[in-house]
Amino acid sequence: MLDSISIKVIRWPLNQLAKVAHRWSFTANQVTVFGFIVGCFALPAIAFEYYLMGLLLIVINRICDGLDGALARIQGITDAGGFLDISLDFVFYSLIPFSFVVANPESNAIAGAFLIFSFIGTGTSFLAFAIMAGKRGIENPIYKHKSLYYMSGLTEGTETIACFVAFCLFPESFAMIAYVFAAACWFTTATRIYYGFTTLRAQSNA
């Protein structure tokens, strides 16, 4: 829901950083992999209850996720790079709630499992429509420079990052935050399935 706004805010600094990275001969795929590796260290950090360290690693991961896209727009967007980026993103998204489950399984296990379950809904509805949109040449006018169709919803990347930040700042409230965000994710899934189905059906009948 907020991605279209946040992209406008961070576009300029990311573009400047991407120019520097390009001059230093970094590739978009290298930044993607580096960001993912750094993000994976959030698992042990959060599991051992170093929540602020985990937050720092999450922030670095998300900066890299924005930087790789800006760098790809300089060097050329590729299907391979887009596939790598979205695949590692979804793995990372599930890693964070799992980290909190490891940190406190007694209090967080069910809430964490429910949140990861909700990510399956948002992820599959997002990717399934992107595949069909690619086959039919459907483009999103808001996200023209994405390697695949970017389907909007109540819970997008910006909201997910905000949720992860809240987890790290208020770890004792993980379960409550997770349940609320998971409910929002299921609303996103429902609206995406409805929108995707009706859009593709209308295309077929046209």
Domain spans in the chain, listed from the N-terminal domain onward: 3-205
> What burial class does residue 115 get, using C-beta atoms within 10 Å of its C-beta: 0-12 exposed, 13-18 middle, 19+ buried?
buried
* Residue 194 CB contacts under 8 Å (≥ 6 apart), including other chains: none
Nearest Cα to Cα of residue 46 among 81, 96, 86: 96
CATH topology of domain 3-205: Four Helix Bundle (Hemerythrin (Met), subunit A) (1.20.120)
C-alpha closest to that of 44 among 120, 87, 98:
98
pLDDT tens for each residue of 141-183: 444 555 455 666 777 888 999 999 999 999 999 999 999 999 9
Q: Supply the pLDDT for residue 141.
A: 44
Rg over CA atoms, the chain: 17
What's the mean pLDDT in 129-135?
82
Averaged pLDDT for residues 131-147: 64
pLDDT of residue 53: 98
- In sequence order, which residues have a C-beta less than 8 Å from that of residue 65 and are 6 or more positions away? 32, 35, 85, 89, 157
Q: How far apart are CA 133 and CA 104, in angstroms?
A: 41
In which residue are the tokens 């937050």 written? Answer: 55
Tokens representing 64 are: 């890299």
Which position has the higher pLDDT, 164 or 139? 164
Q: What is the mean pLDDT of residues 18-41?
A: 96
Q: Tally the residues of the chain.
A: 206
Give the per-residue pLDDT at 11: 83
pLDDT number for residue 143: 46
In this structure, of 32-46, 150-164, 189-203, the range with the lowest mean pLDDT score is 150-164
Between 51-75 and 28-40, two packed helices, what is the crossing angle to 10 degrees? 170
Q: How far apart are CA 116 and CA 101, in angstroms?
A: 11
Tell me: pLDDT of 138 over 80.
Answer: no
